[in-house]
Every structure is written in C-alpha cells, then in structure tokens.
Structure 1
Amino acid sequence: MTITKHHIFRSLRIVATLILAIIAALALWHLYNYYTYAPQTRDGKVRADVVSLASDVSGRIDSVAVTDNQIVAKGDILFTVDKARLRNALQSANASVATARATLASAEQEARRYNALEGVVSGQDRDLRRAAAQEARAQLSSAIASRDLAKINLERAEVRSPVNGIVTNFQLRPGAYATAGQPVMALVDRDSFYVAGYFEETKLSQIRPGTRATITLMGEDQPLKGHVVGLSAGIQDSERSASSNSTLAGVNPTFSWVRLAQRVPVRIEIDSIPKGIALVAGRTATVTIDDEQAGKERAQ
C-alpha cells in the first residue's frame, strides 16, 4: 500500500483536529472549574458608611458652610441653626438660677433662725423651715440643669462633622427649617471604604480572614490590593416566611431542576489605592482571592 501525500495531509489534519479538540476541552474544563470553584467574583461593590446628620435643636437654618461633594474634616462646621431663641433660652435659664439661689439663701437663713429658737417655737415650725430649705436646694439643682441644657443647645446650634467625610446629595439651603432628630444631609465616611464581594457558597471554603485579595474596579486598569476581613454571618432566606397561625417557620417547596449556589457577602478591606482612582460607594468591582495563599491555607 502506497502512502501518498494526500493520506499524509489527511492524517495530519485528523491529528491536528484531535489536538485542538483536546486543548479546547481542557480550556473549557479549566474555565468551568475557575468560574465554579475558584475564589473569584465579578459581583462586587464598593461600600462605605453613610452618616445621616440631623440637628439636635429645632430652628431655622441660619447659614450653610459646605457645598455638594465637598470634602470635610472631623469637627468642621457644616451648618448653623438660628441662635436668637437659644440665646434667649440661656438668658432665661441664668435668671432662673439666680432666682433659685436667692430663694435658697432666704430659706436657709429662715431655717437657721428657727433652729436657734428651740424651746420658743414648735418643732413642727422648725421642720417646715428645714423642708423649705431642702426644696429650695432641689429647685436650684433643677435650674442649674436647665441652664446647662440651654448651654448645650446653644453649642449644638453649630452642627459639626463627626467624621472625615464627603458631603453627598446635598440640597440644604439657608432659611430651611431643621427639626431636631430629623436628618437633613448625609456624609460618606472617607475612612470607611471597603469592598463587598458576593461569592458563591461553593467558593467559601477557600476564603479565610486575612487572605489577600485583588480588586479591579469597572473602567479601571490598575488593581487595588486588599485582604479578607470576614464573611457575613447570615443572609435572608427568600423562600422562608412566618405563618400567621403557627410559631413554626413556613418554607415554600422548591422544584427547580438546577440548584443555584447562594451568594454570601464577604467584606474586603482595602489596603492600597493607586493614584488617580476615585472610590465611589456603589461602584462595581471584580474580586479575586489570592489562589496561592488560599491553597496554602487549605493545605494547612
């Protein structure tokens, strides 16, 4: 049997096709394992603590010292509430303290005089004067407490930043009315940025606190470095609901053919931020756990 060039080329094509098919199968298997079991997720978000600020006292906004997206330091004045009524309240409290002091002095003097007249006045009268002096002391203490509260309210009319933050979604203007305890503005804490990576539960065995992580923000080429702080202790079960007629939990039956892995939040602390990258709460991120370190931890 003569082997012709046609047979050789045909055999080479078959071998090349088999090699390419094997390479493709291995690549698909590698990709399947990577996306199924490797500690990596594209479902990550940049998070930060948001401080909702409210005035401790009610009143008209007298002045606003910041603008939207402004960076502020801890202790900076953000806005002030009109102090006219608060100063008036402090003056009234000072007058009440002075009146209470005078009343106490008179009551104590009366009590001493009656106490010196033992045998001349009845014991009941002496007891009444002592009780009046004690009541005057209590009234003075109450007046001092009211004066101190008036001082605090006057000081709290200047609302200061409790953190190093960034003013966001700011619409407050002078003349608006602030109600005590009702938020009027928000600050993003600049020192609290972190990344929340939502990893499938099949990958949690490779994630440990302290494990290094690489974070890539969408639209950025330079990666951020971080490390795992911890895993969420619980997530909401959307298939579980409480029954109104029973103390037991009611669980809806599931009839899905393909069981999808649940996603669990993993907190990633940011260690280094390349120059020029802006951290914005809500940005999308891809988080990859250090495979080498994770492998060493699994081996241990």
Structure 2
Amino acid sequence: MKSLQQKILRLVLTVTLVLAAAVSVYKVWEFYTKSPWTRDARFSADIVAISPDVNGLITDVFVHDNQLVHKGDPLYAVDNHRYKQAVKQAKAEAAYYAAITAEKRREAARRTKLGGTALSHEMVEQALNDSLTSEHQLAKSLAAQYLAEIDLERTVIRAPADGWITNLRVYKGEFINRGSVSVALVKQQSFYVIAYLEETKFQGIKPGMQALITPLGSEHSLYGEVESFAAGVSNLNHLADIKGIAAVDSNLEWVRLAQRIPVRIRLNEEPGNQYPAGTTATVVFNQGDQIIANQSISLTAFFKRLREFG
C-alpha cells in the first residue's frame, strides 16, 4: 500500500512538473513572439547638412569635429576679399544711378512745368521716360548691392541651430564650391527612436503607447511614447516595366518574411549625444499596465534583455 502511494505521488509530481514546464515554455514563447517588440530600432535626430552659399578659399576653421556649438556660432570662413570688392562696386554703381536719377527727375520736372507752350509734347514725354528708366536702373543697382552684401555676409558660415558638429571635412587653404556639403550638424534636443516593427506585431500600436527602449549592450533603459508610424512602406511589386505594365514577381517564397513598419518614438528625456544617431536599441511596447521606471532584475527583465540576441 505504501509503495502504491509513493508511485502515485511520484506520478502526480512528475505530471505537475511537466505541466508547469509546459506552461512556462508557452508563456516564454508567447512573450517572445507575440508581444509588440523589436530589436531593430535606431536612435535618430534632426541632422542639418551645412554647405556654403559662396565659392572661395577657406581662410579659417573655428570649430573641431564633435564640438557642441550654438546657433549663430561661426564654423569656418571663406576668403572675402573678392566679395568686399563686389560690394564696393555695387555701391559705386548704385551711387552713380542715384545721381543720374536725381538729374533725370529734375529735367522731367522742369520740362513738365514748361508744358507744351515752350516744348513739344514729345520732348516732355521723353524726359518722363528717361526719368522712369533711370529709376528702374537705380532699383536694379540697389538690388545688386543687396545681393553683394549677402554674399559678403555669407563668407562666414554659421551654425543654423544648437547641436554637435560631426564629420567635419573642411580645412584651411582648400577651395570650396557653393552648395557642397562640408559638415553635418546633429541638432540638440531633437533625438528620437525609430523602431522597425514587424507587421505581425503591429496590431494595437497607436500614438501615445508607452515604450521601453534598451540601447544595445546597455544596462540603462529609456522611456518614451509612440508619436506616429509610417503610412506606407516600399512595395517592389508596384514597379512598372518599360511599357508601364506592373512588374510582379512570380516567385513566392515558402517562408514569407514580415514587412517592417517604421514607428517613431518620442523620448521622455533628452539623452543628448549619449546614444548617437544611428546606434541600435531594443524596443518593447506596452500593451497593458504602465511601464515602471527603474524595474528590478526579474525574469521579465531577463527575457527583455535576451531579445537583443534575436
């Protein structure tokens, strides 16, 4: 009798352990495959490509790579001697046409006053036309002077916003062309995360949903919320051939890969350049209870960290 009870107890324990293991495996599998998360996420920021609006030799470089600058700070300067002379020339032409215009105005006023008794109507009209022409020439010269002054001012290239200089590729003595990108500026207070979420996990994602962001290889997590998501992704079957007919791929793989949809996440706290734009992270989206900051080490946290490895 005692032996039978021991066998039954062993059977019950075995079945209990097997069921507990099965439930645990199922929960892990469900947590890992069905919850909205992705390890394909990138930190990003607003990046300004800075290029000069003038041509010339670089005479000074005022910053170094990866330096934090503020809006209006000079970055580098282009030789301004030619542009100074252009301003002088434009001012001289404007002064010349101003004098001509004043003379033509006096002449037109004098002939108009004399009227048709002393002068013909044709001579009066000619004087008025000359005055109007000189005014147009004066306006044109003033516009040229304004453009020359703009070019002179823009020989000093300044930071368009607060941020970090990166990929600085300008050196004193080099010649630089107008419009050629010479340096990039990563704007401060503009960092966000783009999470590429599989379409099979996209259901339920909506603006305002909280997200837990764990940078790759980091013990520290950031928190944010879904700001928006893309309204479309590329469709290769949407391409057309040379005659305009849809070029549909005839191959359909046995294993179909889910499309990834970009989801933009606004960070609750600005991390600065601690996580540079382009670095990777794992993102877990909240479906139920709110994400609690400073979570303790637990089995759930372990699984979230495990996601970094695929």
TM-score above 0.5, yes or no: yes
Give the conservation status (yes or no) of the 8 Å contact 1:225–1:270.
Answer: yes
Distance in 1 between the 2:113 and 2:269 partners? 79
Residues 113-155 of structure 1: CA distance to partner in whole angstroms, max 9, x if unpaired? Answer: 3223332222111111110110000000011111111111111
Do the aligned partners of 1:193 and 1:279 also contact (CA within 8 Å) in 2? Answer: no
1:104 to 2:123 alignment: no
Query: How far did residue 76 of structure 1 move?
Result: 1.0
2:16 to 7, 15, 19: 19
Question: Are 2:63 and 1:29 aligned?
Answer: no
Superposition deviation, residue 13 in structure 1: 4.8
- Find the residue that maps to 2:247 and give its secondary structure: strand
Greater shift, 105-114 or 279-288, is seen at: 105-114
* Counterpart check, 1:289 vs 2:293: no
SS of residue matched to 1:265 = strand
* 1:29 Cα offset (Å): 1.9
Who is 2:248 aligned against? Answer: 251
Question: How big is the shift at 1:241?
Answer: 2.1
Residue 63 of structure 2 corresponds to residue 63 of structure 1: no
Please give the alpha-carbon distance, in whole angstroms, between the structure 2 residues aligned to 1:234 and 1:215.
24
Q: Deviations over 1:40-72 (max 9, x none)?
A: 111111111211101111111111111011111
Paired letter, 1:36: T
- 2-side partners of 1:116 and 1:274: how far apart? 75
Match of 1:183, SS state, is coil
Distance, in Å, in 2 between the alignment partners of 1:259 and 1:179 is 48
Point out the more displaced range, 133-142 or 45-54: 45-54
Please tell me whether the aligned partners of residues 53 and 178 of structure 2 are also in contact (alpha carbons under 8 angstroms): yes
Taking a change above 3 Å as real, the CA distance of residues 27 and 254 of structure 1, as seen in their structure-2 partners, is farther
Q: Which residue of 2 aligns with 1:297?
A: none
**Where does 1:228-239 land on structure 2 (aligned, <5 Å)?**
228-239=226-237
Which whole-Å CA distance do the structure 2 matches of 1:111 and 1:158 have between them? Answer: 45
Alignment TM-score, normalising by the size of structure 1: 0.89
Name 2:303's counterpart in structure 1.
none
Deviation at 1:10, TM superposition (A): 5.5
Distance in 1 (alpha carbons) for counterparts of 2:20 and 2:161: 55
* Aligned equivalents of 2:208, 2:89: Cα separation in 1: 58
Render the CA deviation track for 1:58-95: whole Å, top value 9, x for unaligned. 11111111101111111111111111111111100110
Letter in 2 for 1:129: A
Residues 171 and 181 (structure 1), Cα distance of their counterparts in 2 relative to 1, 3 Å cut: closer
2:135 to 134, 137, 142: 137
Match of 1:73 among 70, 88, 97: 70
- Per-residue CA deviation, residues 240-279 of structure 1 (Å, 9 max, x unaligned), is 4212213x4322134222333221110011112579x812
Q: Percent identity?
A: 36
Q: Decide whether the 8 Å contact of 1:211 with 1:293 is kept in 2.
A: no
Q: Look up the equivalent residue of 2:284 and give its one-letter code.
A: T
Distance 2:140 2:180 in 1: 28
Contact 1:222 1:274 in 2 (8 A): no
- The equivalences for 1:50-199 within 5 A come to 50-118=47-115, 119-199=117-197
Q: Output the CA distance in 2 between the equivalents of 1:102 and 1:273.
A: 59
Structure 1 stretches lacking a partner, 5+ long = 295-300
Q: Structure 1 residues 273, 184: closer, same or farther in 2, change over 3 A?
A: closer
Matches of 1:227 and 1:265, distance apart in 2? 14
SS at match of 1:110: helix
Contact 2:37 2:197 survives alignment (8 Å):
yes
SS in 2 for 1:250: coil
The residue that corresponds to 1:42 in the other structure is 39
Deviation at 1:229, TM superposition (A): 0.1
For residue 231 of structure 2, give the secondary structure of its aligned residue in structure 1: coil
| 2:304 alignment partner in structure 1 | none
CA distance, structure 1, for counterparts of residue 271 and residue 158 of structure 2: 31
Report Cα offsets for 1:193-243 as digits up to 9, x if no partner.
111111111222221101111111012111111110011111112344212
State the aligned residue count.
289
TM-score, normalisation: structure 2:
0.86
Aligned to 1:298: none
Shift of 1:190: 1.9
Classify 1:259/1:28 alpha carbon distance in 2 versus 1 (closer, same or farther; 3 Å): farther
Between the aligned partners of 2:27 and 2:189, the Cα distance in structure 1 is: 39
